[in-house]
Amino acid sequence: MYRPNFLIIMVDQLNGTLFPDGPAKWLHAPHMKALAARSARFANNYTSSPLCAPARASFMAGQLPSRTQVYDNAAEYVSSIPTYAHHLRRAGYYTALSGKMHFVGPDQLHGFEERLTTDIYPADFGWTPDYRKPGERIDWWYHNMGSVTGAGVAEISNQMEYDDEVAFLANQKLYHLARENDDADRRPWALTVSFTHPHDPYVARKKFWDLYNDCEYLMPDVGMLESQDPHSQRILKSCDYASFDITEDNVRRSRQAYFANISYIDEKVGELIDTLTRTRMLDNTFILFCSDHGDMLGERGLWFKMNFFEGSARVPLMVAGPGIAPALHKAPVSNLDVTPTLCDLAGISISEIAPWTDGESLKPVIDGGERTSSVLMEYAAEASYAPLVGIREGKWKYIHCELDPEQLFDLEADPKELTNLAGDPAHAKVLEGFRSKRDAKWDMAGFDAAVRESQARRWVVYEALRNGAYYPWDHQPLQKASERYMRNHMNLDNLEESKRYPRGE
């Protein structure tokens, strides 16, 4: 039986508008461009929720946040939800994670047999928003505009230290897997490598920063709008925008650092693919490249994510590997489709849980078919006072929150989403169609009640567990030192031969 391997490369907060067909021509990203040249590329791929933890939980399960109940960056991901790691492991795969996945709760594996690093973010309930206190800023963890005013060059940072380790341990694991490559009974593998860049803070190493000294894209196309929609106003308040004087230089430096960190990530991607190539595993490995959500990068005056506008919600997706025809696919798709796609490529049926899965396999699209289903999005985290939902279908995007006027955009005619057509009588029929789809999919009052219950319960638990002895849930990677390198219970000749790849002549 044919058993391909899988390398899933996930990055954090990478704006999909910069990937119209692989990386934009002006980006210094040779390794990602080479990957794009042999990939199925999805130009209109969307996150399920524009925030780290809910986006990643949905990505791994193919379920919307309203199903996973991972509404925000401090909501527990329960162990009973099957992820692609579970599906692959059940089918005999070795599954491992190097890097970030922002699992909240005591289960820090969710189907991965091994985690090579700890997570960069906390695993407890401390980052729980509170709908009972609309507008409250929790200063010690909410985003603020200091990431923008502090943009610049650094040779090491908290995030660089993390991603350097993620890449090193991932490459080390690939070498280990290669040494088992000649074993007829070896298990196929699925390695997920998840970086935290180009997520803010906007700080980059000089060698990458200098690549963009003469970049012509250091200012957004659309600056601060005179009139913002209500949710954008809430985002600006949650980011404490009024307390900062954001200059044009701040904006340019932030975007330069962000682009530089795309090149930083590109170098890591190149290292992984180079290791695959030199260990003779590339031809039998599917590579999936994606991001959890995007970054507004100053467009409309907004930064970071937390909304359904293109910079925040649209994300890259590329799939390369055996039998994948390189092509650009423009139909809207979703990160919710990743788990069904991975399983389909591995020949694994997920029919048992299909009724509770919101994504669908993209293999038929890769093979030349069409995807016509609506793309669904949800958001119920910081800067929201009630859940938001979005639908992307054809050229249209529809956004709804019970607190706000509806939004309807024609992305073909208005790619910058500057003209809300929801109040235009000429589009009343289109709007009514989206309202019907919304009502068929969501009970907005029930969604709101579930989020409020979850938040209230977690605040009680978090405050209780911070009193007295504290037992953290954060993952602690363990290595068996007695089984590494050279020890006296090992035969030296056998050891050296087994650790060499390719084997000696």
DSSP state at residue 368? T
Question: Is residue 88 exposed (0-12), middle (13-18) or buried (19+ Cβ within 10 Å)?
Answer: buried
Q: Distance between CA atoms of 284 and 358, rounded to whole angstroms?
A: 29
Helix (DSSP H) and strand (DSSP E) numbers for the chain: 15, 17
> Strand pairing of 285-291 and 317-320?
antiparallel
**Residue 329 annotated among the catalytic residues of the structure:** no
31, 86, 87, 102: which one is catalytic? 102
User: Which residue type sits at 97?
Assistant: L
Cβ contact 424:417 at 8 Å: no
Q: Distance between CA atoms of 259 and 252, rounded to whole angstroms?
A: 11
31, 52, 231, 343: which one is catalytic? 52
DSSP state at residue 422? T
DSSP state at residue 87? H
Triad 451, 336, 191: Cα angle to 5°: 110
Nearest to 316 by CA among 13, 11, 16: 16
**Residue 102 annotated among the catalytic residues of the structure:** yes
User: Which residue type sits at 334?
Assistant: S
Token look-up 């990939």 returns 39
- Strand positions, DSSP E, 17-108: 39-42, 45-46, 94-99
Output the six-digit token pair for 130: 């509170």
Give the active site residues: 52, 102
